[in-house]
């Protein structure tokens, strides 16, 4: 007998066609932060080659850049060949009971409160027009935990400038760092709040793990004496999503009953929870 909603992980690879290394690997979590429809039993979904599939799925919006698909002699990689991509499912981990942010090799220490922090980004339109970044106040992963800030680009960053709101999480030098293991490994669940009603928030988990941060740079301890990883009091290297929320979705949408920039020109951002993988 199967349990619903599904809770677990799917570990997959996009294969390098040149040699048996440098595959692109990603772990897709199915936990309480996911869209409810993506984890529930499928009764009325979309018709696909494999049958009826859920209308909503989980994954990564930036799995690989298009320019990295072609042959790269310096890296010895080629992911697109003969107009085809090869994917491999390495492992599917099913949990016997729901558990937030499952991690097959770790215990998990979560935040002590239902919501870790909430912030209001004022004068959103002005920040968007001037291409300025906005920094939140610092917050902790949990009591006695890691210290972070959010950095938000109202007009987007990189290739998404002028198209999307970009959101990144950066470690900050914290009061508890001497008692904590580094690099940080865990996940921050970030929401941009729908101001119309308490649902349909734009939500993405920012994972800082061995896959997204293989060199441990983004999760490294921030030291005031090291200028290599410090800028304006925070780690220079953050992780997040340049395409967190597209600009066309910011205003009122009657069909979905959503509005993310309110009538006072404010964008509200919530750190819904932080999961810390203890090693």
What is the structure's pLDDT at 111?
Answer: 46
Query: Concatenated DSSP letters for 164-221?
Result: EEEEEEEEB--TTGGGS-SS--EEEEEEEPPSSSSS--EEEEEEESTTT-TTSSTTSP
- pLDDT, tens digit, for every residue of 65-84? 999 999 999 989 999 999 99
Report d(CA 159, CA 166) in Å as an integer: 11
Which has the closest alpha carbon to 146: 119, 114, 182, 112? 182
Report d(CA 271, CA 254) in Å as an integer: 26
- Which residue matches tokens 């850049």? 65
**pLDDT above 90 for 245:** yes
**pLDDT above 90 for 62:** no
Do the beta carbons of residue 203 and residue 270 sit within 8 Å?
no
What is the structure's pLDDT at 93?
Answer: 84
Report d(CA 278, CA 266) in Å as an integer: 36
For the ranges 45-54, 123-132, 201-210, the lowest mean pLDDT is seen at 45-54
What is the structure's pLDDT at 48?
Answer: 62
DSSP 6: -
Q: Which two tokens stand for residue 21?
A: 């290394």
- pLDDT, tens digit, for every residue of 86-124? 999 988 888 744 333 333 334 445 444 457 899 999 999
Do the beta carbons of residue 124 and residue 154 sit within 8 Å?
yes
DSSP 240: E
Q: How confident is the model at residue 23 (pLDDT cuts 50, 70, 90)?
A: very high
Q: What is the pTM of this model?
A: 0.62
Mean pLDDT, range 214-232, rounded to an integer: 71
Which of the given ranges, 19-33, 89-103, 155-169, 203-217, has the highest pLDDT on average? 155-169
**pLDDT above 90 for 156:** yes
What is the structure's pLDDT at 51?
Answer: 64
């Amino acid at each position: 007998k199967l349990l619903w909603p599904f809770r677990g992980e799917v570990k997959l690879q996009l294969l390098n066609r040149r040699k048996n290394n440098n595959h692109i690997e990603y772990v897709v979590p199915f936990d309480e932060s996911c869209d409810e429809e993506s984890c529930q039993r499928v009764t009325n979904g979309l018709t696909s080659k494999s049958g009826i599939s859920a209308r909503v799925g989980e994954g990564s919006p930036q799995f690989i850049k298009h320019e990295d698909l072609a042959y790269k002699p310096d890296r010895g990689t080629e992911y697109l060949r003969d107009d085809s991509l090869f994917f491999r499912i390495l492992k599917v981990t099913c949990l016997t009971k729901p558990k937030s942010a499952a991690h097959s090799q770790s215990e998990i220490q979560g935040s002590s409160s239902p919501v870790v922090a909430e912030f209001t980004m004022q004068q959103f339109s002005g920040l968007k027009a001037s291409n300025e970044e906005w920094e939140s106040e610092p917050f902790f992963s949990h009591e006695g935990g890691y210290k972070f800030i959010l950095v938000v680009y109202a007009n987007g960053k990189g290739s998404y400038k002028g198209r999307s709101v970009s959101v990144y999480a950066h470690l900050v030098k914290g009061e508890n760092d001497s008692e904590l293991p580094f690099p940080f490994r865990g996940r921050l669940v970030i929401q941009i709040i729908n101001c119309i009603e308490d649902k349909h928030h734009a939500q993405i988990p920012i994972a800082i793990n061995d896959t997204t941060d293989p060199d441990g740079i983004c999760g490294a301890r921030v030291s005031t004496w090291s200028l290599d990883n410090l800028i304006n009091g925070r780690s220079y290297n953050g992780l997040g999503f340049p395409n967190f929320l597209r600009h066309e979705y910011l205003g009122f949408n009657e069909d979905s009953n959503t509005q993310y920039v309110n009538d006072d020109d404010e964008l509200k951002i919530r750190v819904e929870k932080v999961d810390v993988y203890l090693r």
